[in-house]
Amino acid sequence: MENQKRIKVKALLGLKSFSDEILVKGWVRTKRESKNAVFIAMNDGSTVHNIQVVVNPELFREQLLKRVTTGASIAVTGLWVASLGSGQTKELQAKTLKVLGDANPDSYPLQPKRHSLEFLREMAHLRPRTNTMAAILRVRHTAAFAIHQFFNDKGFFYFNSPLLTTSDAEGAGETFKVTTLNLEKIPLDELGKVDYRKDFFEKETNLTVSGQLEGELAALALSEIYTFGPTFRAENSNTKRHLAEFWMVEPEMAFYDLKDSMDLAEEMLKYLVQYTIDHCLDDLTFLEKREIEEQKNMPVAERSEQSLLDRLQFVLASNFKRISYTEAFQILRNSKPNKKRKFQFLVDNWGVDLQSEHERFLVEKHFKKPVIIYDYPKDIKSFYMRLNDDNKTVGAMDVLFPRIGEIIGGSQREERLDLLTKRMKEKRIPSVEMDWFLDTRRFGTVEHSGFGLGFERMILFLTGMSNIRDVIPFPRTPGNCEY
Ligand code: 4AD
Ligand code: MG
């Protein structure tokens, strides 16, 4: 067995015929015993599919077969032969069987049955071994790969923005502080304030909320770049769509106006969907079935009208609806749920921020397709967005998706130095600290735009999962930072 080359389950299932003896390693999903044979469903994570191993109990010690339990790791050699049973066309007829690692059934937490997602969240260290989580992780990998493929093919450069920074790109004050100061004995300055000069970086430092500002520096040199990395936000929102640590994809393009940027966003989203269908159909089919099962226990009103794959196809086939904030505002103000006071946040005055209930109404009920809203009131958007000629709105755009709401946020950037510094003053952003950023506007400034895709929100859409905690290996949310 030792000198044989192991073959992965995915490769094995793709083989039409194979006459030599093979070696497969993986974990036991289930074991079923009949009079003349023991059937083991085995999985190695390379695919959602298991292979069936057939063991003749007369050829193996009973003691060994007893150790073949759910979760145990095994190595099997044998012949890949036509299966007599239904459910699989081929099976592995075991010649040798070795238990690599036992999984005591009295203490192994995962049983061969459906566990609730809540239970699995408490068990995040073992949940990659479930079909659902493994499928999600494969989709996640594929989508990440597709992002690099998409941008590389277009000549964009992958740019690494820092995670440790002294700036707050969104200016929302939701940063996690980074310090090596002794929190039991914080040094104070002459004014009695924390003396950050004594801290590691000799400055107040935090984890980044976005790589955008550094991305802009690169775009104004390389023309088209994208970042793809973790971002951190200490917003205290315990929702199904928010994480304190999430991954963001942030392309930044010189010489793009807002419309160019919307075109790119729509093209990228469709590419990601198509790529995932092309490369993960087995996993998507599994996740679609999972969702159908789950929805059986849900009230009819909460069930999704379309199946997962239909929703993905639907996005591919639709032209995203593009409307201005003002148009969206009018539709929402005159909408039934607003008039009947069904919205939690009523839409009454121009300038109100749109909530996820409003976004989902526009996407799911009104237009029934993805929507891009642009030209938002300047007061509800970040300082770096380009002021429109009306002096009231900025060149912002949000892409809204069914079941998700906002999946992308972006804008054309304010490239005019005087207007940018004026906005920073209004928003009380100290320009001394941001001098490096302003240099891009001082020297060779150009029209440019960019956006940020919330990677986990994309994975939510691709997998049909409804809670963002289930599409990242180790979710960080208020009160949760295990592992
Ligand atoms: O709209 P946001 O805040 O935009 C930015 O950060 C810009 N700097 C992007 C840019 O123009 N380069 O965030 C972008 C996206 C949102 O649309 C959402 O999908 C996701 O990031 N996002 C979150 N995802 C999970 N948890 C959170 N707490 C998130 N906050 C934002
Ligand atoms: Mg946003």
Q: Can you tell me which atom of ligand 1 is nearest the CA of 457?
A: 19
* Residues 315 and 426 reside in one and the same domain: yes
Taking the centre of ligand 1 as the mean of its atom positions, its distance from the CA of residue 174, in whole angstroms, is 12
* Residues 82 and 225 reside in one and the same domain: no
- Does residue 260 come out as left (phi exceeding 0), alpha (psi in the -120 to 50 range) or beta? alpha
Nearest CA owner, ligand 1 atom 2: 409
* Angle (nearest 5°) at CA 190 between 189 and 192: 65
Ligand located closest to 385 CA: 1
The CATH code of the domain that includes 258 is 3.30.930.10
Dihedral of alpha carbons 241, 244, 247, 250, sign: positive
Could you say which of 101, 116, 151 is where a domain stops? 101
* Residues 405 and 443 reside in one and the same domain: yes
* Residues 325 and 427 reside in one and the same domain: yes
Q: Which residues line ligand 1 (CB under 6 A)?
A: 169-170, 210, 212, 233, 235, 242-243, 246, 248, 250, 406-411, 450-452, 454, 456-457
Does residue 77 lie within any of the structural domains?
A: yes
* Residues 301 and 351 reside in one and the same domain: yes
Is 361:337 a contact under the CB 8 Å cutoff? yes
| CA count, 13 A, side-chain hemisphere, 442 | 7
**Percent above pLDDT 90 for the chain:** 88
Does residue 386 lie within any of the structural domains?
A: yes
Does residue 203 lie within any of the structural domains?
A: no
Taking the centre of ligand 2 as the mean of its atom positions, its distance from the CA of residue 399, in whole angstroms, is 9
Q: For all residues of the chain together, what is the average pLDDT?
A: 95
Taking the centre of ligand 1 as the mean of its atom positions, its distance from the CA of residue 299, in whole angstroms, is 31
Is 73:40 a contact under the CB 8 Å cutoff? no
At residue 69, what is the residue type? Answer: T
Q: Can you tell me which atom of ligand 1 is nearest the CA of 172?
A: 3
Nearest CA owner, ligand 1 atom 28: 242
User: Averaged over 293-300, what is the pLDDT?
Assistant: 87
- Among 167, 168, 212, 248, name the best residue to mutate to test ligand 1's pocket (greatest count of ligand atoms within 8 A of Cβ): 248
Nearest CA owner, ligand 1 atom 20: 454
Nearest CA owner, ligand 1 atom 21: 454
Taking the centre of ligand 2 as the mean of its atom positions, its distance from the CA of residue 457, in whole angstroms, is 12
Residue 220: which domain range? 129-174+209-470
Does residue 482 lie within any of the structural domains?
A: no
Taking the centre of ligand 2 as the mean of its atom positions, its distance from the CA of residue 454, in whole angstroms, is 9
Nearest CA owner, ligand 1 atom 24: 454
* Residues 218 and 289 reside in one and the same domain: yes
- Among 253, 372, 457, 469, name the best residue to mutate to test ligand 1's pocket (greatest count of ligand atoms within 8 A of Cβ): 457
Give the integer Cα–Cα distance in Å for 254 and 368.
33
- pLDDT for the residue numbered 72: 98
Listed in sequence order, the residues at least 6 apart from 359 whose beta carbon sits closer than 8 Å to its beta carbon are 371, 398, 400, 405, 406
pTM of the model: 0.96
Nearest CA owner, ligand 1 atom 30: 242
* Residues 413 and 345 reside in one and the same domain: yes
At residue 182, what is the residue type? Answer: N
* Residues 387 and 280 reside in one and the same domain: yes
At residue 49, what is the residue type? Answer: H
Taking the centre of ligand 1 as the mean of its atom positions, its distance from the CA of residue 14, in whole angstroms, is 40
Ligand located closest to 406 CA: 1
Taking the centre of ligand 1 as the mean of its atom positions, its distance from the CA of residue 248, in whole angstroms, is 7
Q: Which residue has the higher pLDDT, 196 or 299?
A: 196
- pLDDT for the residue numbered 447: 98
Q: Can you tell me which atom of ligand 1 is nearest the CA of 212?
A: 12
Q: Indicate if the pLDDT at residue 213 is higher than 80.
A: yes
Does residue 285 lie within any of the structural domains?
A: yes
Cβ neighbours around 183 below 10 Å, total: 7
Does residue 184 lie within any of the structural domains?
A: no
- pLDDT for the residue numbered 319: 97
Complete edge-to-edge strand list for the sheet that includes strand 405-412: 157-158, 224-232, 245-254, 448-454, 405-412, 393-401, 371-377, 321-324
- pLDDT for the residue numbered 16: 73
Tell me: the pLDDT tens digits for 104-154? 999 999 988 889 999 999 999 999 999 999 999 999 999 999 999 999 999
Nearest CA owner, ligand 1 atom 6: 210
* Residues 311 and 401 reside in one and the same domain: yes
Taking the centre of ligand 2 as the mean of its atom positions, its distance from the CA of residue 216, in whole angstroms, is 18
Could you say which of 86, 101, 116 is where a domain stops? 101
**SS3 per residue for the chain:** CCCCCECCHHHHHCCCCCCCCEEEEEEEEEEEECCCCEEEEEECCCCCCCEEEEECHHHCCHHHHHCCCCCCEEEEEEEEEECCCCCCCEEEEEEEEEEEECCCCCCCCCCCCCCCHHHHHCCCCCHHHCHHHHHHHHHHHHHHHHHHHHHHHCCCEECCCCCEECCCCCCCCCCCEECCCCCCCCCECCCCCECHHHCCCCCCEEECCCCHHHHHHHHHHHCEEEEEEEEECCCCCCCCCCCCEEEEEEEEEECCCHHHHHHHHHHHHHHHHHHHHHHCHHHHHHHHHHHHHHHCCCCHHHCCCCCHHHHHHHHHHCCCEEEEHHHHHHHHHCCHHHHCCCCCCCCCCCCCCCCHHHHHHHHHHHCCCCEEEEEEEHHHCCCCECECCCCCEEEEEEEEECCCEEEEEEEEECCCHHHHHHHHHHCCCCCCCCHHHHHHHHCCCCCEEEEEEEHHHHHHHHHCCCCHHHCCCCCCECCECCC
- pLDDT for the residue numbered 396: 98
Nearest CA owner, ligand 1 atom 3: 409
Distance of CA 25 to the CA centre of its chain: 30
Nearest CA owner, ligand 1 atom 7: 452
Does residue 117 lie within any of the structural domains?
A: no
The CATH code of the domain that includes 83 is 2.40.50.140
Tell me: the pLDDT tens digits for 393-452? 999 999 999 999 999 999 999 999 999 999 999 998 888 889 999 999 999 999 999 999
Task: Tokens for 316, please give them.
Answer: 């591919």
* Residues 22 and 137 reside in one and the same domain: no
Taking the centre of ligand 1 as the mean of its atom positions, its distance from the CA of residue 247, in whole angstroms, is 9
Taking the centre of ligand 2 as the mean of its atom positions, its distance from the CA of residue 268, in whole angstroms, is 18
* Residues 92 and 135 reside in one and the same domain: no
Q: Can you tell me which atom of ligand 1 is nearest the CA of 450?
A: 11
User: Averaged over 30-47, what is the pLDDT?
Assistant: 96
Ligand located closest to 410 CA: 1
- What is the biggest distance separating any 2 CA atoms in the chain, rounded to whole angstroms? 85
Number of domains in the chain: 2
Tell me: the pLDDT tens digits for 257-274? 999 999 999 999 999 999
- pLDDT for the residue numbered 2: 60
Q: Indicate if the pLDDT at residue 386 is higher than 70.
A: yes
Q: Indicate if the pLDDT at residue 276 is higher than 90.
A: yes
Q: Indicate if the pLDDT at residue 364 is higher than 80.
A: yes
- pLDDT for the residue numbered 86: 82
Q: Can you tell me which atom of ligand 1 is nearest the CA of 408?
A: 17
Does residue 169 lie within any of the structural domains?
A: yes
Taking the centre of ligand 2 as the mean of its atom positions, its distance from the CA of residue 333, in whole angstroms, is 21
Is 225:252 a contact under the CB 8 Å cutoff? yes
Listed in sequence order, the residues at least 6 apart from 344 whose beta carbon sits closer than 8 Å to its beta carbon are 355, 357
- pLDDT for the residue numbered 113: 86
* Residues 266 and 364 reside in one and the same domain: yes
- pLDDT for the residue numbered 1: 63
